[in-house]
């Protein structure tokens, strides 16, 4: 994923650990980041059509706090059933817990806990934003919920027309089962 590292290098998403102002006041920031034109992830090629819009809110004032990241962007990807290019409007919301104490004490933490050095005065959110971006990508893209896909015999798009191919029998992968169970039908 060399494209991801190149994308992260240009991103500057930093928040101060201690906000100026009243105690208990949250810190809010908005960014827009450019994305690579295409991204291959989980067997799909996403064409990224807009900048990544990010809204981050630090909940709590101090050295231990929650950070909520909301992001949105537009992309296209092929439908996993019929391969038709499908427009996507993607939005996601993620929450991370930031602390310096777990890093010092060597505690075992989960993926939503982010540890930072005790002497830090600001935190770079680029890696958490990239992680949130990747996690917001759908595992399966469908042009519509009832997509019929492609005919396994002739490759016709079954959303447009019925190709007339018989889907009965002759699948060589199932021949062994048919030999073992000759009385069982597919119906």
Which residues, other chains included, contact 107 with Cβ-Cβ below 8 Å and sequence gap of 6+? 101
Which residues, other chains included, contact 184 with Cβ-Cβ below 8 Å and sequence gap of 6+? 177, 178
* 77 & 45 share domain: yes
pLDDT value for 111 = 66
| 142 in a structural domain | no
* 115 & 180 share domain: no
| 143 in a structural domain | no
How many domains does the structure of the chain reveal?
2
* 62 & 89 share domain: yes
pLDDT value for 2 = 39
* 93 & 164 share domain: no
* 157 & 80 share domain: no
- From CA 104, how far away is CA 113, in angstroms rounded? 14
DSSP 8-state code for residue 109: -
**What global pTM score does this model have?**
0.74
| 65 in a structural domain | yes
* 157 & 87 share domain: no
Asked whether the CA dihedral 156, 161, 164, 166 is positive or negative, the reply is positive
- From CA 4, how far away is CA 10, in angstroms rounded? 11
* 119 & 168 share domain: no
* 55 & 89 share domain: yes
What is the rounded end-to-end Cα distance, in angstroms, of the chain?
45
| 12 in a structural domain | yes
* 68 & 122 share domain: yes
| 54 in a structural domain | yes
* 186 & 101 share domain: no
- What six digits make up the tokens of 143? 């042009």
* 69 & 10 share domain: yes
Q: Which domain holds residue 12?
A: 2-136
| 152 in a structural domain | yes
Strand pairing class (38-41; 14-16): unpaired
Average pLDDT for consecutive 10-residue bins of the chain (187 residues)?
Answer: 51 74 70 91 92 90 84 96 95 90 56 78 87 92 94 89 76 79 71
């Amino acid at each position: 994923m060399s494209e991801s590292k190149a994308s992260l290098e240009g991103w500057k998403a930093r928040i101060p650990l201690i906000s100026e102002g009243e105690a208990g006041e949250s810190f809010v920031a908005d960014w827009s980041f450019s994305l690579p034109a295409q991204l291959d992830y989980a067997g799909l090629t996403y064409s990224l059509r807009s900048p990544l819009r990010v809204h981050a809110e630090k909940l709590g004032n101090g050295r231990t706090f929650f950070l909520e990241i909301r992001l949105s962007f537009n992309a296209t990807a092929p439908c996993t059933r019929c391969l038709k290019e499908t427009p996507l409007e993607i939005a996601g919301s993620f929450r991370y817990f930031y602390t310096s104490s777990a890093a010092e004490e060597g505690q075992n933490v989960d993926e939503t806990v982010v540890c930072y050095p005790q002497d830090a005065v600001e935190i770079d959110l680029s890696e958490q934003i990239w992680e949130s971006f990747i996690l917001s990508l759908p595992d399966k893209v469908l042009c519509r919920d009832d997509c019929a896909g492609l005919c396994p015999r002739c490759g016709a798009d079954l959303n447009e027309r019925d190709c007339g191919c018989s889907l009965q029998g002759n699948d060589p992968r199932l021949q062994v089962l048919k030999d073992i169970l000759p009385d069982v039908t597919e119906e």
